[in-house]
Structure 1
């Protein structure tokens, strides 16, 4: 189960936005006057930074949905190979976290209406929540 709060990370201008099981978290960092960025952190993951917390949280959902992934070596526009095994909804959710991608673009890419794309993304969120809940129940801190 994710927890939210303003717990400090020890670095000036940073706080934990959301903390998940298995040492996964999203850190909110000041990126200039009135600007915040949200950095996804997980063990053995280089970390990604996002402009808004919702996108960072969806990225975390994708991470849990595929049991973790690495982006190194996938290139600027590539998709980590593990996504292909996870299915179209996971690929759609991952692509949605990329800059400049919206549900209309995804709908065109997958030949679906935007409402269907939103359901695909929601499926990933639900699976990720179930995975985190199961990990917490098993005591995977």
Structure 2
């Protein structure tokens, strides 16, 4: 939808299948599981697109910072070496709250995709 997709790939430097997020004007990024790739796509839709290029290895794209805590939490959950407990510890909240933040992003992204579909923008 809107040029955004997740494709299965089999990199030669990895064991098994990986999931590559692709979007216009975005350097593709690969994930070990489809759920993380889907959450990344949700963040992408939530902020109306962003680019990782130029943010460095540990930077966060400005669009994500400006979008608010729930979007930033969801973005953190897509990064290597982080999980719900890490993000909860970082923010000083319980893991359940982190899951609620991510769920909000998923719901908003679903609404955006549904709206685009209704307008014939696939």
Name the residue aligned to 2:42.
61
Q: State the structure with more CA Rg.
A: 1
Give yes or no for the alignment of 1:82 onto 2:63: yes
Q: CA deviation at 1:31?
A: 2.9
Aligned counterparts, 1:57-136, within 5 A = 57-136=38-117
Tell me how far apart the structure 2 counterparts of residues 77 and 34 of structure 1 sit (CA, whole Å).
25
Tell me how far apart the structure 1 counterparts of residues 8 and 49 of structure 2 sit (CA, whole Å).
21
Q: CA deviation at 1:44?
A: 0.8
Q: CA deviation at 1:111?
A: 1.4
Q: What are the superposed Cα offsets for residues 13-60 of structure 1, whole Å, 9 maximum, x if unpaired?
A: xxxxxxxx2011001012359600110001111111001111001000
Name the residue aligned to 1:31.
11
Q: CA deviation at 1:96?
A: 0.5
Higher normalized helix content (fraction of residues): 2
TM-score when scaled to structure 1? Answer: 0.82
- Say how many residue pairs are matched: 121
Name the residue aligned to 2:118.
137
Cα RMSD between the aligned structures? 1.2
TM-score when scaled to structure 2? Answer: 0.95
Q: CA deviation at 1:71?
A: 0.7
